[in-house]
């Protein structure tokens, strides 16, 4: 199962973060509209990511709910029928909640940087350091900390859990 080291943080100055992201990635980033439908499961998280263009991904992931860098194991399966799959999984498992977001994706070497505007929550950033087979979680952690510093992300802005957890906690 692939793994990565992730961090998530609140963003107070979206313009500054975008500028830093563009400089580090040497790109304008890619805009992605996403709707994530989370389903009820015994452990981990299962979501159907709808790209709002007729395509999507079924994603299972498991990671601890702690602030700062954390190891995440995941599996992804693409789909060309996200609406049909959403209906099937909703009937079988029930829906835990829905997260709608506008995401800018920037690639910085082996790291995916997401700059997200989440409906009902505000602005966030996520770093996903995709680990090579030879790399340890500690190496991913070091890469994440270095990028946090370069992006001017403060430790006090780190958040735990997934967007769905934050949305449900705010209800």
How confident is residue 1, by pLDDT bands cut at 50, 70 and 90?
A: low
Q: What pLDDT is recorded for position 39?
A: 98
* C-alpha closest to that of 69 among 111, 12, 116, 21: 111
Q: What pLDDT is recorded for position 161?
A: 83
How confident is residue 75, by pLDDT bands cut at 50, 70 and 90?
A: very high
Read off the CATH number of the domain in which 147 is found. 2.40.320.10
Q: Running DSSP on this structure, what letter comes out for residue 131? A: P
Residue 151 exposed, middle or buried by CB count within 10 Å (0-12, 13-18, 19+) = buried
Q: State both tokens at 86.
A: 């959403």
pLDDT tens for residues 20-74?
999 999 999 999 999 999 999 999 999 999 999 999 999 999 987 777 777 888 9
Q: Running DSSP on this structure, what letter comes out for residue 162? A: -
Q: What pLDDT is recorded for position 69?
A: 73
Q: What is the mean pLDDT of residues 96-111?
A: 97
**Domain count for the chain:** 1
Q: Over the chain, what is the mean pLDDT?
A: 94
- pTM value is 0.88
The Cβ of residue 36 has, within 10 Å, a number of other Cβ atoms equal to 21
Q: State both tokens at 101.
A: 């977001």
- Whose tokens are 């920037």? That residue is 106
Please state the length of the chain.
171
What is the span of the domain harbouring residue 78? 3-170
């Amino acid at each position: 199962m692939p793994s990565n080291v992730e961090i998530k943080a609140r963003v107070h100055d979206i313009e500054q973060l975008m500028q830093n992201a563009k400089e580090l990635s040497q790109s304008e980033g890619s805009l992605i509209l996403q709707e994530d439908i989370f389903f009820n499961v015994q452990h981990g998280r299962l979501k159907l990511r709808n790209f709002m263009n007729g395509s999507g991904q079924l994603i299972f992931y498991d990671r601890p709910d702690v602030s700062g860098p954390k190891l995440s194991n995941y599996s992804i399966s693409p789909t060309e029928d996200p609406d049909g799959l959403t209906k099937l999984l909703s009937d079988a498992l029930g829906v835990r909640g829905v997260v709608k977001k506008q995401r800018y994706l920037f690639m910085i070497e082996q790291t995916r940087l997401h700059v997200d505007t989440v409906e009902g929550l505000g602005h966030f950033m996520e770093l996903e350091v995709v680990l090579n087979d030879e790399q340890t979680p500690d190496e991913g952690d070091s890469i994440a900390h270095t990028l946090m510093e370069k992006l001017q992300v403060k430790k006090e802005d780190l958040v735990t859990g997934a967007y769905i957890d934050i949305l449900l906690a705010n209800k």
